[in-house]
Amino acid sequence: MFDGKPIIGIVGGIGSGKSYVAKIFGELGCVVIDSDGLVRLAYDDPAIRAILRKWWGDGLFNADRSINRSAIAAKIFRDPAQQKMLEQLMHPWVNARRERLMQQVVGDAQVLAFVWDTPLLVENRLNSQCDAVVFVDAPREVRLARVKESRGWDEAELERREKLQMPLDKKREISDYVLVNAAEADRIRGQIREILSQILE
């Protein structure tokens, strides 16, 4: 609980639609904390940018001086030590901003709960700070079709990325609720409304 309001963590496989589910929670009265969005803000912080430049040089930046996230991904996926180094830099910044965002609205009676849309929620042990964890399930073929369309990944790339994360059966096992995001929007919304109702009880 954060000042009496539950914290809901969203987990699931790549391409399962976690952010879509979080968005619907938001429409139902929750405040969604988007960790990917916070990471993008962190990359705009001059202090973060200076450290990254010191580590990896000017090649990390695009022509418009924005961070080349693909270049960062290429570095950390090849080298676990580099990944750990980046996490130790980014996590405190993101955690502090997440708490600040929650603090700004905690007194708002219209806010029912906080939803953490965080890609590696379990891997970073943030699930231990959640009052409820929701697993978003979707068949592999559906997830593959989604990442092909949205990210241009083939099946080998999806498999490679998934191997870097906790197995889905383990994530499902530690979750409090499971919803299936492979049907029509009304059915998904109904599942989310029911889960939110149970959490708030």
**Within the chain, what is the greatest distance between any pair of CA atoms?**
52
Q: How far is CA 188 from CA 105, 126, 142, 179, in A?
A: 27, 25, 15, 8
Compute the average pLDDT of residues 132-161. 89
**What is the overall mean pLDDT for the chain?**
91
| In the chain, where the domains are located | 7-200
What is 7-200's CATH topology?
Rossmann fold (3.40.50)
| Confidence category of residue 174, pLDDT binned at 50, 70, 90 | very high
Percent with pLDDT over 90 in the chain: 56
C-alpha span between 190 and 42 (Å, rounded): 35
The pLDDT value recorded for residue 183 is 65
Compute the average pLDDT of residues 140-167. 87
Tens of pLDDT, residues 64-116:
989 998 889 888 887 889 988 999 999 999 999 999 999 999 889 999 999 99
Q: Per 3-state DSSP, what percentage of the chain is helix, strand, and coil (rounded to 5)?
A: 60, 15, 25
Give the predicted TM-score (pTM) of the model.
Answer: 0.88
The pLDDT value recorded for residue 101 is 94
| Confidence category of residue 18, pLDDT binned at 50, 70, 90 | very high
Query: Within 13 Å and on the Cβ side, how many CA atoms surround 171?
Result: 25
Residue 154 burial class via C-beta count within 10 angstroms: exposed 0-12, middle 13-18, buried 19 and up: exposed
The pLDDT value recorded for residue 37 is 93
C-alpha span between 132 and 16 (Å, rounded): 18
Q: How many angstroms separate the first and last alpha carbons of the chain?
A: 13
